[in-house]
Structure 1
Amino acid sequence: MAGNSQRRGATRNAANKKGATVGSGGQRRKALEGRGPTPKAEDRTYHPAHQRKVAAEKRAATATRRDDSRGGGARGPKGRGAAEEVVAGRNAVLEALRARLPVEAVYISPRIDSDVRITEILEIVSGRGYDLLEAGKSELDRLTDGSVHQGVAIKVPPYDYADADDLLDAAEATGRPPLIVALDGVTDPRNLGAVLRSAGAFGAHGVLVPERRSAGVTASAWKVSAGAAARVPVARATNLVRALGELKKAGCFVVGLDAGGSTAIGDLALATEPLVLVAGAEGKGLSRLVRETCDVVASVPISSETESLNAAVATGISLYEVARLRSAQP
């Protein structure tokens, strides 16, 4: 319409007139470059799937730490245990320090309420030159996996295991016939700690454990050993039966400790000879192959056939009897 051409805005300025255009994809291609595909739901931090993934990873990490503490976890380099451990709580830390458990670092809350235990812990840490680090509650919760830490924790290194030959060398250095304890299927580190304590008390030259399905020298074993783990070496064998065979070739007699043995441990004629005492787990006893490897199977006399002794108690009694028989030798 003629009149409309004079209306303001009815005509287009030729200088601003756009030319022919292509499709919108062509105009915006550069804007879309570099964004990549949409992330998976579990990789988006705000998505519930991501939260489920994080929770599953935490559960798996906790299970691994529990396995390691039982001696059945993944192993580190040759001669080493699984991973560093953390001992938490005032009583547990103080007992570990008193037992001279090796310490890499001591963590303590800057706002901790002091008592006689904390005072002694700090005195020991200062006297031995351990690294003392301040850690808030959230950091201690993370280090101890949420366990009750009471504001203090220590980190201990993996244990440095010996070889079976090292135990024979230790015996040779003393000038006495070798006396070695081997554990078959004992998975509780507290039993291992108790065996180490008895071994130290009655002059054993070391303890031999299999690499798998066996307790390792964990923080629990250190504490129960009351410091004996620092004095009595622990060797680890890939195959216990093979290791026992090698000890026999080196001149040792292998004596199994099991119910229904052919002799009482107090009457053991081999007590004064180079000796390996092998104890099995309570209930299961010695495995078939280990039992067949033994030269003699001895037992600890008990008053009731329905009762049984765990590995730590049976080993302690047996070591006492062997020490008694050796001391009676002219």
Structure 2
Amino acid sequence: MAAGGRASGRPAKKKGPSKGTGGQGRRSLEGKGATPPAEMRHWYKDKARTERIAREDRDGTRRAAPARQQRRSEDAPDYVGGRNPVLEALQAGVPASALYVAQRIDNDDRVRDSIKIAAERGIALLEVSRDKLDRLTEGGVHQGIALQIPAYDYAHPSELVELAQDAAEVPLIVALDSVTDPRNLGAIARSATAFGAHGLLIPSRRSAGVTGGAWKTSAGTLANLRVARAANLTAALREYRESGLFVIGLDGAGETDIGDVDLLTEPLVVVVGSEGKGLSRLVREHCDVVTRIPMQAAAESLNAGVAAGVALYEVARHRRL
């Protein structure tokens, strides 16, 4: 056998070209690329969150997750937070169902007085964590104490006129047009109480309601002032006019100064517009007079609560003459 020859006596087969795949196997040869870093993997965030929560629980530094912004049900209770507002609400007789006090709270006279009044009125006293108070007050400043108040029982618009008639007084009602800040509602309630108004009228939509923020700003005066709610503000104003009341609108674009209006001693509805936008078109059309508060700086506008206070003072001044 020659060197380099085949061991068998059969002739060697010629190897031809291999059969191709037409490129169909190219993608399988590319591979999946480099391994992605951990933070790009689908399970990384869940695992990292679990480890963070476990670490915070171990260290005692875990905070409550922020409450999801949801529309509060009209039948749901509300909360007044803060030592002064809670004490003022209790002293004013604001209806309340529970007083929440933080564990290991640093007591002062306001806290002790609040607890005492709550006990005398038979209001439930509950000791809770500060995280619980944060959730109840939706992140507001509570200073370790909060008062739960039930959903407000709104009056019918006609009841405000009946209150004036029962008291043998000339009706004075304050209506709010697109006032959406509860603090403005509370401030207007304080002025309305101070100057002898018989109630507030608010629309049921696109308006602030009697919430914890309104109670807080009103300093408890909402306990002595009825608030009525109308499904349609313009319809309610029309009914007031048909009942013999005059309607004056308060707007920076009014043509008559509030002190020059000759209807202030008559049965009256004072409509306060929102800051910036003023009165809506339909409400303006249902006013007997649209008046303004004269100011030296024409470019300035008054807060709705301040404007209502000035107008109601002027009404009260005319009625004393």
Alignment TM-score, normalising by the size of structure 2: 0.75
Cross-structure match for 1:134: 127
Cross-structure match for 2:116: 123
The one-character-per-residue Cα deviations of 1:175-216 (angstroms, maximum 9, x if unpaired) are 122111101000011111111111111111111000000000
Cross-structure match for 1:182: 175
CA shift, 1:147, in A, is: 5.4
Counterpart of 2:270 in 1: which secondary structure?
strand
- Kindly provide the amino acid, as one letter, of the partner of residue 153 in structure 1: A
The one-character-per-residue Cα deviations of 1:80-112 (angstroms, maximum 9, x if unpaired) are xxx211233434433433443321011224533
* Identity within the alignment, %: 55
Counterpart of 2:279 in 1: which secondary structure?
coil
CA shift, 1:252, in A, is: 0.7
CA shift, 1:139, in A, is: 4.3
Counterpart of 1:113 in 2: which secondary structure?
coil
CA shift, 1:235, in A, is: 0.4
Cross-structure match for 2:69: 63
CA shift, 1:162, in A, is: 0.4
Alignment TM-score, normalising by the size of structure 1: 0.73
Q: Structure 2 residue aligned with 1:85, among 78, 83, 88?
A: 78
Cross-structure match for 2:232: 239
- Kindly provide the amino acid, as one letter, of the partner of residue 68 in structure 2: T
Supply the distance in 1 between the matched residues of 2:191 and 2:202 (Cα, whole angstroms).
16
Q: Structure 2 residue aligned with 1:228, among 216, 221, 224?
A: 221
Cross-structure match for 2:282: 289
Q: Structure 2 residue aligned with 1:113, among 83, 106, 110?
A: 106
Cross-structure match for 1:324: 317
Aligned partners of 1:197 and 1:225 also within 8 Å: yes
Supply the distance in 1 between the matched residues of 2:112 and 2:310 (Cα, whole angstroms).
38
Cross-structure match for 1:200: 193
- Kindly provide the amino acid, as one letter, of the partner of residue 177 in structure 1: V
Cross-structure match for 1:75: 74
Cross-structure match for 1:276: 269
CA shift, 1:120, in A, is: 2.0
Note closer, same or farther for the CA distance 1:326–1:135 as it changes in structure 2 (3 Å cut). same
Supply the distance in 1 between the matched residues of 2:316 and 2:165 (Cα, whole angstroms).
17
Cross-structure match for 1:24: none
Structure 1: give runs of 5+ residues left out of the alignment: 1-46, 52-57, 69-73, 77-82
Q: Structure 2 residue aligned with 1:103, among 92, 96, 100?
A: 96
Note closer, same or farther for the CA distance 1:108–1:273 as it changes in structure 2 (3 Å cut). same
Note closer, same or farther for the CA distance 1:279–1:151 as it changes in structure 2 (3 Å cut). closer
Q: Structure 1 residue aligned with 2:306, among 298, 306, 313?
A: 313
Q: Is residue 171 of structure 1 aligned with residue 164 of structure 2?
A: yes
Q: Between Structure 1 and Structure 2, whose CA radius of gyration is higher?
A: 2
- Kindly provide the amino acid, as one letter, of the partner of residue 62 in structure 1: R
Cross-structure match for 1:31: none
CA shift, 1:127, in A, is: 2.7
Supply the distance in 2 between the matched residues of 1:215 and 1:101 (Cα, whole angstroms).
19
Cross-structure match for 2:295: 302
Supply the distance in 2 between the matched residues of 1:144 and 1:323 (Cα, whole angstroms).
37
Counterpart of 2:68 in 1: which secondary structure?
helix
- Kindly provide the amino acid, as one letter, of the partner of residue 232 in structure 1: L
Counterpart of 1:62 in 2: which secondary structure?
coil
Counterpart of 1:182 in 2: which secondary structure?
strand
- Kindly provide the amino acid, as one letter, of the partner of residue 75 in structure 1: E
Note closer, same or farther for the CA distance 1:255–1:138 as it changes in structure 2 (3 Å cut). closer
Note closer, same or farther for the CA distance 1:162–1:259 as it changes in structure 2 (3 Å cut). same
Cross-structure match for 2:151: 158
Aligned partners of 2:80 and 2:216 also within 8 Å: no
Note closer, same or farther for the CA distance 1:294–1:145 as it changes in structure 2 (3 Å cut). closer
CA shift, 1:129, in A, is: 2.4
Supply the distance in 2 between the matched residues of 1:270 and 1:93 (Cα, whole angstroms).
39
Supply the distance in 1 between the matched residues of 2:303 and 2:85 (Cα, whole angstroms).
24
Counterpart of 1:317 in 2: which secondary structure?
helix
- Kindly provide the amino acid, as one letter, of the partner of residue 127 in structure 1: E
What's the Cα RMSD here?
Answer: 2.4
The one-character-per-residue Cα deviations of 1:18-49 (angstroms, maximum 9, x if unpaired) are xxxxxxxxxxxxxxxxxxxxxxxxxxxxx959
Counterpart of 1:63 in 2: which secondary structure?
coil
Structure 2: give runs of 5+ residues left out of the alignment: 1-44, 50-64
